[in-house]
Chain A
């Protein structure tokens, strides 16, 4: 997989790109709900903003004065308090140190003036991370002497579990659109027939950053002394499709790769709006995740990598 990535990057250099500044049509701002909460023992944030014109380098404007609650199957109400410009936060308590339980359905309810927004989601389950491995590969055509990390976990039996694998290198979140890593069971899609397996290799290897230096040469993903920290977040099936769409719309290959690119289209939403006769629109997504985590330091004396049973 890494070779494919690098190959495409090199092939892309054969074509050329120019930044352009077209005039775009604009629209009245639309409500955006960014409600991805999880069961990590920490405050949970739901962000309410509005869309802004495409060419900008500002944060989206927050929506203030809203009421935000999440209710579970047992009618337990979690209230998200407005903390700062558009951020609504639920704080863990001693009684409830974490948010949510797998296989429960959660209902989001938001009130902004006359407008109400609602959404439901099912909190999925997540496998424990068995281990994180490192391996060394000597210099080849595309890469210098390199250390690669891989994450090992086995998808639980039962089809339809979906995950978002997030990685931090030395505390820095790998936040490029191209670094979004999603799994459907142990593979990439529903038709994959990969239920109950160890994550397939491209998914295990998806925790490596491929950065380039100032000369556009590729760097080793990890160096001795680096840390890697991985979180696997469970997704609802709708959230999985939503993130897949986000990946398609944000991870643009550029260059030659555009021959294989799909055209721009809107990503979906699971937010329903009732603006009581108004013309407000809302987009965005609500998901509650179970999370498992693991981390490791790269110690070159302790290689090559081990395999889990």
Chain B
């Protein structure tokens, strides 16, 4: 506590010192001239001081200088640079619109950062994907996908096709904070894990933080995926869409008041079931297999100092085997944000959001006999964030967040022969509050620091029953309830507080090389409960309680970044990371995780460690460009009661993770892309013996080992070709409409990549008094190549 107090004083001193001088500020917004979209991460470079700043996620920048005459360059990759000579005598507002470079060949823009940002920026362990890159990558069934695309970057993986979510640096799916316009999205997957919920037509910017996470963010220990939606074209009406093999998309955007207010509405729906309906009677009695989502956003530029944004997402997946029975799940989020400039140097954003994830299951063919169950997590939050642009060497960020959670693990009703029974579990409530303060500081020409602290707290509160559990006689066995107390409404049952220091540095070795390092501590107060092979939509979130402590993670990273070529034609980087974690959750054997009032008695707690090396090389220019990424990693847990208390690999431990993404621009109309993925097989548990019990053959593992074997390696090659429509019509005029065909093949050489291996006595009914044979089966979720065609348009 004392440390942070000193730090705070130091920051205040800096601030005071800076404001005491007679300085002037230039500030403003950077936008795209064609559609008014704000430009995130564009550079404002001041020649005289050989430095400057970068626009924030709302496109705002602010630089404070001595009065004088300056030459200012506004730069953004793929856009024409604009230079201004400004005589600064007083504070000045300069909003700039940048236009795209009119290149003969529209090369794929891999990064939206300035050309050398990977070397010069303080950020490390981050990955940014431009939406154009995402759209150019070959995709499953031809559908561009945010989550699948980031899996081509170092340190990011998944346990297999069909698995929901993604894993970052050996972290679990539930240890990633996924934000869509500041609101958390609890399940990022459609159709189990085949598609992600983010509609690429409505996404502007995707940034993944694997380490060096700024103090502004907290709540998950592995990573932060920050997704920003488009604001909507503020200049003119625009429609974008696509007709694909599995679903179709349409996005409409238009100004409400030109250059002042605009909106975007984007929707998608799968239609495999619609197309199949005439040919099968499977769907006649209400069976369904579909998903849809709707993304919408509007913004209003009230005046120079105030702007508001309202954004929302609603999506749903349906698996129904008739009108009454089946399951479905979906997220909905709503975010209201207000950007306010207190003055030219103090930028603020106030966010209020609501996020809701729920799923439900229903069985039973009539009202006399049925079972209905739904589960959900709801979050409401208020989040003020401030940036104070002290001077060109210091940028202060501070703010806080208040999150209110309501967990409904199960609202369930069973009706048996007309007798109805409510088997619901009580809701659980939690309040997470945090404040943070951090500073980005340049020291001399070569050293930048980012340091800060986040104080976070969590209160698990009533109403509800509070259980006390006995110690297990043998670690790893179910713990029995020994006490129950009742907590009143809003009564704090258990509280936790954590200080989360964050620190990053960048040392510029020479103009094209730098060394970066970071340390961050993260606390996570809500937990994703899942003990299946892969994460799936039925996983339940649960708060920290008197029996479940918050997860803590400490991560250290060190990296070397080097660019080659005249205009940073090649980027390379090497990073190492080490993360140690506490209070990691695992489960007793045979744990009952769904609709179990005494869930906490089935949960085990242990420690974890993950470490690895990430190598990355990217070619930015030329007709052939792309990147190669390789990760060598390890992630383990040590939990009393599992694997005899020794370290064991987590289910998503992958030793080698190698990816290539390549793009080739043949001519104005044809372009090609390919990606190749090679992953070490994920760990699994094999038996050492079998035994019989009442006629059933049961696998047995002599040492109670966990994840003692790996399934075979995974590799896959995908290709895609894009044919753009003609630019000019027959009369030689530039067409207003743009369109393209995308042909792609997923899993080109039809590899049956293993998802899991299971051991079984077979599916035939054993014959009495005959011995039973046993076998091992390897499951491939996708066992052949998948060709697809889609048509995309913009007008």
Could you list which residues of chain A lie within 8 angstroms of chain B, going by C-beta atoms? 1, 3-4, 7, 15-22, 24-30, 32, 34, 36, 47, 49-60, 140-141, 172-180, 186-187, 189-194, 197-202, 209, 211, 241, 244-246, 248-250, 252, 254-256, 258-268, 281, 283-285, 307
Could you name 15 residue pairs across A and B whose Cβ atoms are closer than 8 Å? A4-B325, A4-B363, A7-B321, A54-B687, A54-B688, A55-B775, A60-B691, A186-B416, A197-B419, A241-B478, A244-B590, A264-B684, A264-B685, A264-B759, A283-B700
Q: Are B163 and A259 in contact (CB under 8 A)?
A: yes
Residue B532 at the chain A interface, CB threshold 8 Å: yes
Within the complex, the shortest CB–CB distance from A191 to chain B, in Å, comes to 4
Contacts of B777 in A (CB 8 A): 17-20, 252, 254
Smallest CB gap from B702: residue in A: A27
Which residues of B506-540 are within 8 A (CB) of A? 531-534, 536, 538
Q: Are A3 and B774 in contact (CB under 8 A)?
A: no
A192-B689 contact in complex given A20-B777, A250-B698, A266-B704, C-beta closer than 8 Å: no
Which residues of B413-467 are within 8 A (CB) of A? 414, 416-417, 419, 421-423, 425
Could you list which residues of chain B lie within 8 angstroms of chain A, going by C-beta atoms? 162-163, 192, 281-282, 284-285, 287, 321-322, 325, 363-365, 369-371, 414, 416-417, 419, 421-423, 425, 477-478, 531-534, 536, 538, 589-590, 592, 595-598, 651, 684-704, 706-709, 752, 755-761, 763-766, 768, 771-784
Contacts of B421 in A (CB 8 A): 187, 192-194, 197
Going nearest first, the 9 A-B pairs with the smallest beta carbon separation are: A27-B702, A57-B773, A16-B783, A201-B369, A51-B689, A200-B416, A245-B590, A265-B589, A7-B321
Contacts of B761 in A (CB 8 A): 177, 250
Q: Are A49 and B758 in contact (CB under 8 A)?
A: no
A141-B780 contact in complex given A22-B686, A192-B414, A260-B538, C-beta closer than 8 Å: no
Q: Are B595 and A191 in contact (CB under 8 A)?
A: yes
Contacts of B414 in A (CB 8 A): 187, 192, 194, 200
CA–CA, A266 to B641, complex, Å? 12
Contacts of B651 in A (CB 8 A): 263
Q: Are A201 and B416 in contact (CB under 8 A)?
A: yes
Contacts of B538 in A (CB 8 A): 260
A1-B363 contact in complex given A176-B763, A201-B416, A260-B536, C-beta closer than 8 Å: yes
Contacts of B697 in A (CB 8 A): 250
Q: Are A15 and B783 in contact (CB under 8 A)?
A: yes
Contacts of B700 in A (CB 8 A): 30, 51, 266, 283
Smallest CB gap from A60: residue in B: B692
Contacts of B425 in A (CB 8 A): 191
Chain B contact surface mostly: loop
Known: A18-B778, A34-B692, A268-B590. 7 other contacts (CB 8 A): A3-B322, A27-B689, A27-B703, A52-B691, A202-B363, A265-B706, A281-B702
Contacts of B766 in A (CB 8 A): 175-176
Q: Are A256 and B589 in contact (CB under 8 A)?
A: no
Smallest CB gap from B755: residue in A: A258
Smallest CB gap from B424: residue in A: A193
Which listed residue (A51, A262, A268) contacts B532, Cβ 8 A?
Answer: A262
Q: Are B423 and A245 in contact (CB under 8 A)?
A: no
CA–CA, A180 to B777, complex, Å? 21
Contacts of B370 in A (CB 8 A): 201
Which listed residue (B533, B597, B694, B773) contacts A262, Cβ 8 A?
Answer: B533
Q: Are B708 and A189 in contact (CB under 8 A)?
A: no
A56-B590 contact in complex given A249-B698, A261-B756, C-beta closer than 8 Å: no
Contacts of B371 in A (CB 8 A): 200-202
Within the complex, the shortest CB–CB distance from B480 to chain A, in Å, comes to 11
Q: Are B690 and A52 in contact (CB under 8 A)?
A: yes
Interface-central residue, B163, B369, B534, by most chain A CB under 10 Å: B369
Contacts of B709 in A (CB 8 A): 22
Contacts of A175 in B (CB 8 A): 695-696, 765-766, 768
Q: Are B532 and A53 in contact (CB under 8 A)?
A: no
CA–CA, A220 to B678, complex, Å? 46
Q: Are B779 and A15 in contact (CB under 8 A)?
A: yes
Q: Are B688 and A24 in contact (CB under 8 A)?
A: yes
Contacts of A187 in B (CB 8 A): 414, 416, 421, 423
Within the complex, the shortest CB–CB distance from A26 to chain B, in Å, comes to 6
Q: Are B692 and A49 in contact (CB under 8 A)?
A: yes
Within the complex, the shortest CB–CB distance from B306 to chain A, in Å, comes to 48
CA–CA, A52 to B281, complex, Å? 48
Contacts of A18 in B (CB 8 A): 752, 777-778, 780
Contacts of A24 in B (CB 8 A): 686-688
Smallest CB gap from B701: residue in A: A266
Q: Are A52 and B689 in contact (CB under 8 A)?
A: yes
Contacts of A176 in B (CB 8 A): 763-766
Which listed residue (A49, A140, A250) contacts B285, Cβ 8 A?
Answer: A140
Smallest CB gap from A176: residue in B: B765
Contacts of B772 in A (CB 8 A): 57
Which listed residue (A7, A20, A241, A246) contacts B776, Cβ 8 A?
Answer: A20
Q: Are B756 and A32 in contact (CB under 8 A)?
A: no
Smallest CB gap from B538: residue in A: A260
Q: Are A261 and B533 in contact (CB under 8 A)?
A: yes
Q: Are A194 and B698 in contact (CB under 8 A)?
A: no
Contacts of B693 in A (CB 8 A): 32, 34, 246, 284-285
CA–CA, A1 to B777, complex, Å? 26
Q: Are A259 and B781 in contact (CB under 8 A)?
A: yes
Q: Are B765 and A174 in contact (CB under 8 A)?
A: yes
CA–CA, A13 to B126, complex, Å? 40
Smallest CB gap from B593: residue in A: A262
CA–CA, A4 to B772, complex, Å? 28
Contacts of A1 in B (CB 8 A): 363
CA–CA, A244 to B590, complex, Å? 8
Which listed residue (A15, A53, A248) contacts B780, Cβ 8 A?
Answer: A15
Contacts of A285 in B (CB 8 A): 693
Contacts of B163 in A (CB 8 A): 259
Smallest CB gap from B694: residue in A: A36
CA–CA, A19 to B284, complex, Å? 36
Within the complex, the shortest CB–CB distance from B218 to chain A, in Å, comes to 31
CA–CA, A307 to B416, complex, Å? 13
Q: Are A194 and B416 in contact (CB under 8 A)?
A: yes
Q: Are A32 and B692 in contact (CB under 8 A)?
A: yes
Interface-central residue, A201, A241, A244, A281, by most chain B CB under 10 Å: A201
